Amino acid sequence: MLAWTVDHSSPSHLSLREVPDPVPGPHDAVIQVQAFAPNHGDLEGLPSLPDGTIPGWDAAGVVVAEAADGTGPRLGQAVTSLGPGSAWAQRRLVTAESVGITPAGADPNAMSVVPVAATSALRGLRRLGPVLGRRVLVLGGTSAVGLFAVQLAARSGAEVVATTRNPAARERLVALGAHEVIASPSDLSGDVSGVLDLLGGSHLVRAFARLAPGGTLVALGHAAGEEERFGYGDLFGDANRHDRSLTTYFLGAETGLGPDMTWLATEIHEGRLDPAVTAVRSWQDLPHAFAAGAQRSYGKIVLTVDRTRP
């Protein structure tokens, strides 16, 4: 089969080449990949992966061989699947644990954004507990995860505040359900009950300072690429600041994701959740689509996997 593999001799750290088909273990089904959606973390991690690695966390496709032990998705079923690794290829191994079933007729491009972006938003928000009637800050509202978090938090009854450095993105965030859009946590007019943080660094520290008693900040992403430095007093508790917590998060350590991925796929297919796919391109364009200086817009760039050689 053809796959994008890590190749440090190439400026993109990638080359599309012929590799052996994956060999399924007893619990593995094989899917024919139809579309995949690279993530911030996939692209950042390329320079540190060994040559020959097939990268990528999420891919949507169709089952072409069932698992020998009878578990997992059935032959011909359309699924969306979660990594780690091996997504940027014509075929991929999946287990019962790593797939969501996608509705009949669903667009594989839209389905490919479910595993990392949408599922991280859903699971990260759950860490905040009930948000009905509470004020929630999505730090990094325009990130792929943030665009889902804004929608899901609003649907859960939260009063959503989202951040972006870009004033032109305000309208988009409001359309997705944000009640208020600000440039940074320093602009918050009052406290918040929960924070879903996709940025880290000084943003995290300033957002933690605005947490109401009993509030939680979920440190999910670190897109700002900065250190977090708490000063003396930042972690004090008093009448207005007691019982605040900060928790780290890793999607790869979450369990039982299948039903959540299936639900998210259905919500997208039935139009209740915007997949925020901003461009669909051939997978052969992968290095160009993400090259430094390539035009970017907020949301996901999805690559469709065709069978032609480059």
Ligand X SMILES: NC(=O)c1ccc[n+]([C@@H]2O[C@H](COP(=O)([O-])OP(=O)(O)OC[C@H]3O[C@@H](n4cnc5c(N)ncnc54)[C@H](OP(=O)(O)O)[C@@H]3O)[C@@H](O)[C@H]2O)c1
The binding site for ligand X (CB under 6 A) comprises 39-41, 116-117, 120, 140, 142-145, 164-166, 169, 198-199, 220-224, 249-251, 298
CB 302 within 8 A of CB 35: yes
Query: Which residue, 171, 173, 200, is CA-closest to 40?
Result: 200
- Comparing CB distances to ligand X, the nearer of 40 and 127 is 40
Give the nearest distance from C-beta 249 to ligand X in angstroms: 5
- Kindly provide the residue ranges of all beta strands, DSSP E only, lying in the chain, ordered along the sequence: 2-6, 14-18, 29-36, 58-65, 78-82, 91-94, 99-101, 135-139, 159-163, 180-182, 192-197, 211-219, 245-248, 277-282, 300-304
Give the nearest distance from C-beta 232 to ligand X in angstroms: 25
Question: How far is the C-alpha of 19 from the C-alpha of 52, rounded, in Å?
Answer: 9
Give one word for 105, left, alpha or beta, with left for phi > 0 and alpha for psi -120 to 50.
Answer: left
- Comparing CB distances to ligand X, the nearer of 198 and 261 is 198
- Comparing CB distances to ligand X, the nearer of 166 and 282 is 166
- Comparing CB distances to ligand X, the nearer of 128 and 169 is 169
Give the nearest distance from C-beta 65 to ligand X in angstroms: 29
Closest residue to bound ligand X by CB: 221
Residue 31 bridge partners (DSSP): 63, 92
Give the nearest distance from C-beta 218 to ligand X in angstroms: 9
Give the nearest distance from C-beta 100 to ligand X in angstroms: 16
- Comparing CB distances to ligand X, the nearer of 27 and 179 is 179
